[in-house]
Amino acid sequence: MTSPPDAWTAVRGRPWRFLLSAWPWRALAYDLGSVVVGLAWLMLLALVLGIGLSTVILVVGLFVLAAVPALAHLAAVLERRRLRLVLPHGTEESGERPSLRESWRVQRGLPVAWSEVGHLVLLATLGWLVGLLAAAVAAAPVILLLAPWLADDDVIDFAGWRIDSGPEPWMASALGLVLLVVAAYVVTWLACGHAALTRLLLDPSDARLAEAVAAVRRSRSGLADAYESERRRIERDLHDGVQQRLLALTMTLGSAELEAEGPTLTLVRQAHEQAEQALAELRTTVRGIHPRVLTDHGLTAAVHEVADRSPVPVHLGLALDERLPAPVEAAAYFFVSEALTNVVRHAGAGSAQVHAWTESGSLVLTVSDDGHGGAEPRPGSGLEGLRLRVEAMDGSMRITSPPGGPTSVRMTCPLP
């Protein structure tokens, strides 16, 4: 038998199941809590408003009043937690919850959430009254139930009904039993109503949170773009500057070789070889920064080049008809490049495959090999670096590499 997921479901379910469950008690706890919390907020709010309004003429008051939205946020955070008493599911976001401190810090950067302020005002005024009503409703049947014992010592005056002797206390007790059932329902309904109103007011701040996350994402992809254009600039400077000069140097040395003789010729040849080595090293560096073929011809040509350099035979299946946005091309290129490097270094593979295609507005790229598997993205590893790079583009990466192989790495990146 599964128990209902929250008080609202329970109260609408079978009466016996509801009455014997913990939900009426949890609802009561919530209601009583509302009284304590609501009154506490009322006093605090009155204090802040009092000080704020009385010192507003000294400007200080404005700062005091400015603290109200922050207090409202604090109240919202606490109420969300208290909400779990009656609605354990569907309140807080899933996954990692920000700590109170983080939440507080984020709050300072966001515009005033008037719904949270409204919620605080309601909690400080109506909230505790509702709680008080629930407390009274819960207290009535308890008093009636205890009537036979209470009547021994005293006279009970219950809503104009004087209970003092004879069968009356027992009738009262029986009535109390009935009222207990009614009270359970009323208390739970009140709690649910209060909780629903709280959620109604606080849920819009989830939308604000989503907005804040979107802003963070934008700044992240902005950083990635800036990083990418910086790489391109460095590549361009090296390619157009140093590389050309070295090339011109090898030409001059090549000409000198034709005319030099004896020991001079040996020296010139050495100089030529050294210049060529420097050129080769520079070319490797430039390729690692941002290959020119990628800029000029796009992903397909650049991946062909990587595949051609690979000591492990690579089969390519690239279904990309047109150029992709530059940041996506760069991320995809480095993905293939790094994945193939891993295949060569670690996989012990006989061959590898690279496939790329676009699918519902995303670029999908897979690199697989027939090696021994067991690949894992450790922190600081190339694979982990790739994941971060792909995620900065709002993409995702997945590795399947059972021991014994085969290994397949797949990235998906949305096309803007």
Work out the burial of residue 390: count CB atoms within 10 Å of its CB; fewer than 13 is exposed, 13-18 middle, 19 or more buried. buried
Closest distance of CB 101 from other proteins, Å: 53
Q: Is 323 in the site for other proteins (CB under 8 A)?
A: no
The interface with other proteins within residues 74-113 (CB under 8 A) comprises none
Rounded to an integer, what distance in angstroms lies between the CA atom of residue 376 and that of residue 266?
A: 51
Assess contact for 393 and 221: CB atoms under 8 A. yes
Q: Is 233 in the site for other proteins (CB under 8 A)?
A: no
Rounded to an integer, what distance in angstroms lies between the CA atom of residue 149 and that of residue 144?
A: 10
Among 272, 290, 387, 389, binds other proteins (CB under 8 A): 272
Closest distance of CB 229 from other proteins, Å: 17
Q: Is 255 in the site for other proteins (CB under 8 A)?
A: yes
Assess contact for 170 and 148: CB atoms under 8 A. yes
Closest distance of CB 76 from other proteins, Å: 57
Tokens of 25: 């008690």
CB nearer to other proteins: pick between 42 and 279: 279
Tokens of 298: 């796009």
Assess contact for 256 and 270: CB atoms under 8 A. no
Q: Is 168 in the site for other proteins (CB under 8 A)?
A: no
The torsion region of residue 15 among left (phi > 0), alpha (psi -120 to 50) and beta comes to alpha
Assess contact for 299 and 320: CB atoms under 8 A. yes
Q: Is 313 in the site for other proteins (CB under 8 A)?
A: yes
- Interface stretch with other proteins, choices 28-36, 102-110, 160-168, 297-305 (CB under 8 A): 297-305
CB nearer to other proteins: pick between 165 and 341: 341
Among 239, 290, 387, 389, binds other proteins (CB under 8 A): 239
- Interface stretch with other proteins, choices 23-31, 33-41, 172-180, 307-315 (CB under 8 A): 307-315
Q: Is 290 in the site for other proteins (CB under 8 A)?
A: no
User: Residue numbers of the site for other proteins (CB under 8 A)?
Assistant: 239-240, 243-245, 247-248, 250-255, 257-259, 272, 275-276, 279, 283, 292-293, 296-297, 301, 304-305, 308-309, 313, 315
